[in-house]
Amino acid sequence: MNFQKIASLLTISAALPLTFVGCGDSNPTMSAPVIGEESSSSSSDMSAAGESASSSSAKSEASNASSSSANPSSSSSQLASSSSQEPESSSSVGLSVPTGSITDSRDGKVYKVVSIGTQVWTAENMSLGDSSLYVYEDALKACPEDFHLPSIEEFKTLVEYVGGSDVAGKKLRSTTGWPNDEVLGDWNGTDDYGFNAKPVTLGNGSGTDENFWSRDRNYTNYETENFFKFDPFPTSTVFDNLPQPDTDARFYYPFCEGRNDASSSRTCFVSGEPKTRLSVRCLSDLLNCGGKAINYKEQFCQDGAAYDLCRGRKYDATKYVCKDNNLYDRATNSYYKYAWIALNDDMEYGLYLDKRDNQYYKTIQIDGVTWFAENLKYEIEGSICHEFNPMHCDFYGRLYTHKQALAGAEEVPSDKVQGICPEGTHVATYNEYAKLIDADKKYDLVSEYTEDDYKGSIHIAENSVGFSIIYPGYCVKSQCGTEESWKYVNWQTHLIASNGVYALKDWDNSGLYRVKSVDDAIYGSVRCVVD
């Protein structure tokens, strides 16, 4: 399964209005399959599927998103009527992308702007207030009206347009101001697109480095943030002259490939401590799509045509069409659920309907046991989405305390219990997990796809049996809602069993362990098993 290719087709959207990320949207009516019965390649003449993850308020940026062909004709529902093959575009009447320069209404400063591909960038660093370098918190507020702090994905779009990370540094650097050394060479750029990335100077002769904050947190280390980096001159002292807090030095010497292997042509994406002071470039909310302006909060551009975001995300419009805020395969008119990106396309999955909210789940049979191949998304009072963002629920499922998973039971059961699982299923038990999971073979159970992976593959996984474990991280109940509470996304998951909790960790190779004492202090994921 070529996920790099998939990820290039369906990518992260920008910060979205609540109308685009709500998960309680009205959905087409769907005729239900037999509960618990796996779908064959010709079964279940269904009309559509609904996906309602949450009505909670979105408090953070959208996740990195992708699409997969997941054999929709064999195990997905069918539309009763065909979907439009034309681009789904909202009105762009009266919109025009900025050109030449813009004025920041907050202080009257004027900034040059430049069009690069579909994007419109400020062609010089922001200088709101007395400084042109910002800590992360201030960077989030540095852009003027109708512009925004870019995401890593938007920086990637820029890098790909100019030829890739191996050449972007030279093409985006200013033509003057960088070191020109007899031994290490000329580090000035060609500025082919007018981006004009100049070296940072601290007034001490150390102007040999440049970095731009993105708005994205580093989900593998929530205490750090991601940024776009130009490989610095090898003798750069910019970071040496900054205050050194008690933190890992790698967050203060973030060279793309190591301090002794710098390249004037290279760019990369790294993470840094949020108190680090970096530059800010801003990106227009409007994109130039086939000669027309569109708003990134509502639409995306593919092959010169505008399409409405679907559930707040981009998608491959050549394969999918968005109808009633859900995706359908253009070739088969079958419903496609975003969470299915985590499945193994080579496996044959069943389909299971939760009649309570008309959500469908793929199932997989392993050693005679039929498991849900995705985390439960059923909304109950007190359950949450990661960062309270419904878009995370679309992929990771909802997070529950142990008591919530047991539907409020006061005592831990000794046997199977339905809990919050749908009719005909039960919350997986400790013994069922124990038979399924072998710490030495955990990658056979883990999805190949990794959400919010700004560098590439975070972990190696085979998902050879199709169980498709993902790592939503976890939230300590007493801390949920604080920045410190969202930990270890893509590195750890807590799988709530009816009589215990399993924790699977990838970040320190500790494998699997069971939390024997259930104190209801951790929010985790729920997998259901068909009775």
Helices 165-172 and 152-161 sit at what angle, rounded to 10 degrees?
80
Q: Does residue 440 belong to any structural domain of this protein? A: no
Give burial (CB, 10 Å; 0-12/13-18/19+) of 517: exposed
User: CA-CA distance, 288 to 301, in Å (whole number)?
Assistant: 8
Q: Does residue 222 belong to any structural domain of this protein? A: yes
Q: What is the pLDDT at residue 217?
A: 78
User: CA-CA distance, 14 to 264, in Å (whole number)?
Assistant: 30
Per-residue pLDDT of the chain (531 residues; tens, 9 = 90+): 433 333 333 333 333 332 222 233 333 333 333 333 333 332 232 323 334 333 332 323 333 333 333 333 333 434 333 334 445 555 556 789 999 999 999 999 999 999 999 999 999 999 998 778 999 999 999 999 999 999 999 999 999 999 999 999 999 999 999 988 888 889 999 999 999 999 886 544 456 789 999 998 776 666 678 889 998 887 776 555 444 444 443 344 456 765 557 788 999 888 888 888 899 999 999 999 999 999 999 999 999 999 999 989 999 999 999 999 889 999 999 889 989 999 999 999 999 999 999 999 999 999 999 999 999 999 999 999 887 888 889 999 999 988 999 998 777 787 899 999 999 999 999 888 888 876 566 668 888 887 766 555 566 678 899 999 888 877 777 767 665 556 667 667 888 888 877 666 654 444 555 554 456 778 889 999 999
Strands 147-148, 283-284: pairing kind: antiparallel
Contacts of residue 19, Cβ cutoff 8 Å, sequence gap at least 6: none
User: CA-CA distance, 178 to 199, in Å (whole number)?
Assistant: 6
Q: What is the pLDDT at residue 132?
A: 87
Contact between 417 and 408 (Cβ < 8 Å): no
Strands (DSSP E) found in 117-174: 119-122, 147-148
Q: Does residue 474 belong to any structural domain of this protein? A: no
Q: Does residue 344 belong to any structural domain of this protein? A: no
Strands 350-354, 335-336: pairing kind: unpaired
Q: Does residue 215 belong to any structural domain of this protein? A: yes
Q: What is the pLDDT at residue 274?
A: 87
Q: Does residue 134 belong to any structural domain of this protein? A: yes
Q: Does residue 78 belong to any structural domain of this protein? A: no
Q: What is the pTM of this model?
A: 0.74
Count of domains in the chain? 1
Residue 171, domain extent: 101-284
Q: Does residue 471 belong to any structural domain of this protein? A: no
Please report where in the chains the tokens 């949020």 appear, as a residue: 274
Q: What is the pLDDT at residue 293?
A: 96
Contacts of residue 229, Cβ cutoff 8 Å, sequence gap at least 6: 210, 211, 212, 254, 256, 267, 268, 269, 270
Distances (CA, A) of 402 to 274, 511, 519, 521: 34, 21, 8, 8
Contact between 338 and 394 (Cβ < 8 Å): yes
